[in-house]
């Protein structure tokens, strides 16, 4: 008998392609249309989204190209060759901190939203703890299994988004997208900056590419994955603007959920589409959290000699405590903004430093070889 096709811990470039949107598209998109609408006029926010998306996609390509250049080597291994081991450990700890903070933030936000829309009588702490326990259970299993879950959940998430868009056309008004090209350059730059925060999470490429069988296809697959994210964000933004208009979208806390509340499925099959939508969207948030927690463990294992489950059980209380520290929605929003800036700046800086050094060294080797 032949081996089971998915019985090992290796993954394919296609799974990396799906993992990127799976870990990127989470709680941020629920409020992103509001944050962009507050800074732009009409539907001008699409420019900011596109600019931010293209810039992050370039960074993602560089990250995947860098990691793919050292097949089979861990981040600690190949970065140590480029910037010495102490600096490599520092970079690893920064990326671990980013993932842990993102996990804590997502767990807190999902509890806030669930309490507001689904479980109004359930304490916030109980919702957060329950979600975290499910995440811990998932992460404690097969690492490659998380990528299989991404492959399973992400198409469902895309499908429900298209269904939401389809049934929103009854309220869609083209006039809500006008005027166009009225937003000033300064506001567009600020909107692009805010939009970029919604792309945090691509640091998984530093670590997971070592699991890929054929690394040559990874850079192209990573770009395709980010293009999916950009397309999904643009679709959601335009639908929100078309239904609510710029002014209303800017005053809704979670425009995407409010949009789902307006949907009525013909025949009365779903009386509350927003509840169904939210349950499905939890899959996306679950993907974000499991990948973030798992990548932090994967990054720590080379220099903390503990079993995966032991390390996970040590980190889970820390994630929960950090998530419960903010008091009120304003502090939660500030934490999210901090994590976004910290994540994008740290991941991009590490990529640029390592990619540049790698290119210089490879160029010198080619020169020495030709002499």
- Has residue 7 been placed in a domain? no
2: pLDDT confidence band, cut at 50, 70 and 90? Answer: very low
DSSP class of 176: G
**Is pLDDT of 224 > 90?**
yes
| pLDDT for res 3 | 44
Give the tokens for residue 335: 């934490």
The pLDDT assigned to 262 comes to 79
Q: 209: domain range? A: 16-351
Check which CATH number belongs to the domain holding 104 and give it.
1.20.1740.10
How far is the C-alpha of 50 from the C-alpha of 39, rounded, in Å? Answer: 15
In contact, 164 and 260? CB cutoff 8 Å = yes
Answer yes or no: are the C-beta atoms of 72 and 210 closer than 8 Å.
yes
Q: List, for residues 106-132, the tens digit of each pLDDT value.
A: 999 999 988 988 888 999 999 999 999
Residue appearing with tokens 């998530």: 323
Average pLDDT over residues 56-77: 93
The predicted-structure confidence for 271-330, as pLDDT tens digits, reads as follows: 667 777 888 888 889 999 999 999 999 999 888 888 889 999 999 999 999 999 998 888
Whether 6 is in a domain gets the answer no
Burial bucket for residue 353 (CB in 10 Å: 0-12, 13-18, 19+): middle
Instruction: Give the separation between CA 43 and CA 60, rounded to whole angstroms.
Output: 27
Does a structural domain hold residue 341? yes
The pLDDT score that the predictor gives to residue 328 is 85
Confidence of residue 270 (pLDDT cuts 50, 70, 90): low
pTM over 0.75: yes
Nearest CA-CA partner of 64 in 355, 366, 359: 355
Strand partners, 11: 212
pLDDT exceeds cutoff 90 at 363: no
In a domain, 185, yes or no: yes
Residue 179 has pLDDT above 70, yes or no: yes
Residue 128 within any structural domain of the chain: yes
Whether 199 is covered by a domain: the verdict is: yes
Q: Cα dist. 153→104, 134, 257 in Å?
A: 22, 16, 19
* Number of domains observed in the structure of the chain: 1
Residue 212 pairs with which residues in a beta bridge?
A: 11
Is 367 part of a structural domain of the chain?
A: no
What is the average pLDDT value for the chain, to the nearest integer? Answer: 89
pLDDT category of residue 4 using cuts at 50, 70 and 90: very low
**Per the domain annotation, does 46 fall within a domain?**
yes
For the cut 70, the answer to whether the pLDDT of residue 7 exceeds it is no
């Amino acid at each position: 008998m032949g081996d089971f096709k998915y019985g090992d811990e290796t993954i394919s470039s296609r799974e990396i392609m799906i993992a990127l949107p799976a870990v990127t598209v989470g709680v941020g998109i629920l409020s992103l249309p509001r944050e962009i609408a507050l800074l732009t006029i009409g539907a001008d926010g699409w420019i900011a989204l596109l600019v931010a998306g293209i810039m992050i996609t370039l960074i993602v390509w560089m990250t995947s190209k860098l990691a793919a250049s050292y097949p089979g080597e861990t981040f600690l291994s190949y970065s140590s060759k480029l910037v010495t081991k102490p600096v490599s450990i520092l970079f690893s700890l920064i990326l671990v901190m980013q993932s842990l903070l993102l996990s804590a933030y997502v767990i807190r936000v999902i509890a806030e939203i669930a309490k507001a829309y689904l479980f109004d009588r359930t304490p916030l702490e109980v919702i957060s703890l329950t979600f975290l326990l499910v995440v811990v259970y998932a992460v404690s299993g097969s690492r490659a299994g998380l990528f299989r879950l991404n492959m399973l959940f992400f198409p469902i998430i895309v499908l429900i988004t298209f269904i939401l868009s389809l049934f929103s056309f009854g309220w869609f008004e083209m006039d809500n997208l006008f005027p166009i090209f009225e937003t000033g350059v300064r506001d567009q730059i600020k909107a692009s900056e805010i939009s970029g925060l919604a792309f945090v999470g691509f640091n998984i490429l530093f670590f997971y590419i070592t699991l890929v069988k054929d690394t040559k296809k990874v850079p192209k697959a990573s770009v395709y994955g980010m293009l999916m994210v950009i397309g999904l964000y643009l679709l959601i933004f335009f639908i929100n603007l078309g239904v609510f208009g710029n002014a209303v979208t800017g005053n809704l806390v979670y425009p995407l959920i409010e949009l789902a509340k307006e949907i009525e499925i013909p025949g009365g099959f779903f009386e509350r589409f927003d509840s169904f939508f939210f349950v499905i969207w939890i899959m996306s948030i679950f993907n974000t959290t499991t990948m973030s927690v798992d990548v932090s463990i994967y990054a720590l294992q080379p220099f903390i000699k503990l079993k995966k489950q032991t390390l996970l059980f040590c980190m889970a209380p820390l994630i929960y405590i950090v998530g419960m520290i903010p008091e009120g929605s304003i502090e939660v929003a500030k934490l999210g903004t901090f994590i976004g800036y910290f994540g994008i700046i740290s991941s991009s800086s590490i990529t640029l430093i390592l990619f540049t050094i790698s290119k210089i060294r490879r160029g010198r080797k080619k020169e020495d070889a030709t002499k």
